Amino acid sequence: AQSVTQLDSHVSVSEGTPVLLRCNYSSSYSPSLFWYVQHPNKGLQLLLKYTSAATLVKGINGFEAEFKKSETSFHLTKPSAHMSDAAEYFCVVSDQGGGFKTIFGAGTRLFVKA
C-alpha cells in the first residue's frame, strides 16, 4: 500500500526567498507523484507531475520538484517566493497496484511575508 508524508504542516518564508516543501512517499510499485496547490476557498490545481522522463520536474509558476528514489522523496522548491504563492500544497502518490489508488498528504500551508 502506498502512503505519503508531508514533513511540515506550515512553512513561512519572506517574499523573494527560496521555498522548500518536503514530501516522502512509500510505494510497492513505481509510483506516480504529483504536487497540487489549493488557494483559499478554491479548487485544486496541478503544479507538476513526475513522469519518469526526468528526475527534476518543472511545473507552473516557477515550481520544481526532484524525484529521489533512494530517499523516497519528492520535495517541492521555488527559488523566489511571491505573495501569490501563499496557499496549501499537497503531495500526492499513486501506484499501479491496488487499482490506481491515489493518496494525498496532509498538506503544507505556505505563508509568504512581505
Binding stretches for other proteins (CB under 8 A): 6, 9, 32, 34, 43-44, 46, 49-52, 90, 92, 94, 96, 98-107
CB of 78 to other proteins, least distance (A): 19
Q: Which is nearer to other proteins, 15 or 38 (CB)?
A: 38
Residue 8, judged by CB atoms within 10 A of its CB (0-12, 13-18, 19+), counts as middle
Q: Which is nearer to other proteins, 77 or 104 (CB)?
A: 104
Q: Which is nearer to other proteins, 70 or 100 (CB)?
A: 100
CB of 102 to other proteins, least distance (A): 6
Closest CA to 106 of 94, 82, 89: 89
Which single residue is written with the C-alpha cell 504529483? Answer: 34
Report the alpha-carbon distance of residue 24 to residue 1 in Å, rounded. Answer: 14
Report the alpha-carbon distance of residue 21 to residue 76 in Å, rounded. Answer: 5
Q: Which is nearer to other proteins, 99 or 114 (CB)?
A: 99
